[in-house]
Amino acid sequence: MGFNSFTFILVFLPILLFGWNVFNKLEKYTVADVFLTLMSLYFYYTFGVEFLLVLLASTLGNYVLSLVLHVSEKKSNIQTTIKVVGVLFNLSILFYFKYLGFFIDNINALTGATITAKEILMPIGISFFTFGQISFIVDRANGKAPHYPFLSYLMFAFYFPKLIQGPIAFHKEMIDQFQDSSLRKYDSDKMARGLMSFIIGLSKKVLLADNLAKAVNYGFHYTYYLDTLTVILVMLAYTFEIYLDFSGYCDMANGVSLMLGFELPTNFNSPYKAATSKELWQRWHMTLSRFFIKYVYIPLGGSRRGKIRTLVNVLIVFVLSGLWHGAGWTYVCWGLMQGLLVVWDNLGITGVKELSDGEGSSKKAKYLFREKPLITLPRPVGTAITFTMFVISLIFFGSQDLNYVGAMFNRLFVWTYPGFLYKTAENLKIPENYIFRQLFTQLGKDNLVNSVYVATFVILIAISGFVMTRKNTKEIVAETKFDGKTIAGLAVLFIWSFISLSNVSTFIYFQF
């Protein structure tokens, strides 16, 4: 049961909001907490009872470790031991379900062995909830987190809006909100803005991302048949799809949280407006970036151990980020490429006239080896280059294996045009172009029917590109005044999106 399903919208969400608000109105806060926790567990249960058992084991295991720390809080040797045990406990769960098969395959390839392992289903969102647990147990062992009441920790661990696809919320920023009774009062403004965020996210997912995916998935499957123009369009479509899909989910998660009275941390801040790769990663999947900075980059020494070590630490973080996204060498290569691009930015060979700090203001960039960049580019040029390099890097991210990566690069840089664009675009048989398809079919104009598919493909890419140049959802929601025109527009957008739910698909980041 995803956010983009009839069951969630028509049944789960209304029951959740009704029960939550009634219990809080009656000041039955403990009952409200239990209700939200059980609803969250049921939400996750719909993806599979075996997945729920993994989540329960992970959560209870971490809470027991926290309890041990609580009992022996004055013994520093115990603190260190529990931190190591806690990290290994969480990583072992992640390794078994996500990386064991990849590990065995590589052992077999290197040694010629024939080790086999039964197929293991990976729990939905395991990377997200595991990193949330790691952040808690490390902070707990370092004395930066209290031993929370059992119910408060369960609420944090199971809180369904962030559970399966992030954002990766830290314990304090959520539990502090859960314990603030003032946030439990019904707020019509928060309800309206939460609903608006949900509708915008839903439309980004079902009207744009899902339709783009039809051509994108076909393109990546038939990589060896693609021509250069089709590769360019497929990669542009994939770049927009992956952002619209992931940020659309986050918009919906933020919307549901606002309707409950809470706020999730921001995960996207118009990343395709970034003028350098370093800035892009200050705007893209921001909660993953801050996790790696806090729990990997800084413990490795950050920028405190010399300039060369700083660059090495950056590369380590990005390789791990690539591996976090998937158990495959394509993801590792993608992470390495992004890391090298950020290293390039840190060298100061090229730079832009103005950088954004991710909150709308400007600041001067910091370079490791130069006070000023050797070459200064206008910001629009930097943005174009950064976007292009990100598009190219996603060839690694979306391809089945490194052979497909090589084929995609070959077709991108060695010009061919066998006309495979029509076959790719034919996947876009969507309700929005039905009338034109039927009209030209009745007229016997098959070539024009093909043109409808191609035009639909190009229009979807163009609309997605236009959306990227606008303010992000959080900004739009914060600035909106709910007049009649706005409400009517949201109603139309919701109905259009709701009708499109007949073609429900999962979110890309569910697999991570």
Q: Would you name the residues annotated as active-site residues?
A: 325
Q: Find the DSSP H helices in 95-227.
A: 100-111, 126-141, 150-158, 160-163, 171-178, 188-203, 210-221
- CA 439 and chain centroid, separation: 40
Element (H, E) at 351: strand 350-352
Compute, in degrees rounded to 10, the torsion defined by CA atoms 85, 86, 91, 96.
70
Q: Are 467 and 244 in contact (CB under 8 A)?
A: yes
Phi, psi (deg, nearest 5) at residue 350:
-125, 155
The 3-class secondary structure across 382-398, one letter per residue, is HHHHHHHHHHHHHHHHH
Q: Residues with Cβ < 8 Å from 140, sequence gap 6 or more?
A: 65, 66, 69, 82, 86, 146, 147
The Cα 219–Cα 423 span in angstroms is 9
Q: Are 204 and 248 in contact (CB under 8 A)?
A: yes
Strand partners, 352: 377
- The sign of the dihedral angle between the CA atoms of 129, 132, 133, 134 is positive
The Cα 68–Cα 82 span in angstroms is 8
The Cα 331–Cα 379 span in angstroms is 29
At residue 126's C-alpha, the angle toward residues 129 and 322, to 5°, is 100
Q: How far is CA 370 from CA 6, 309, 357, 362, in A?
A: 55, 16, 20, 20
Q: Find the DSSP H helices in 142-209.
A: 150-158, 160-163, 171-178, 188-203
Q: Are 376 and 351 in contact (CB under 8 A)?
A: yes
Element (H, E) at 363: strand 362-363
The Cα 234–Cα 499 span in angstroms is 26
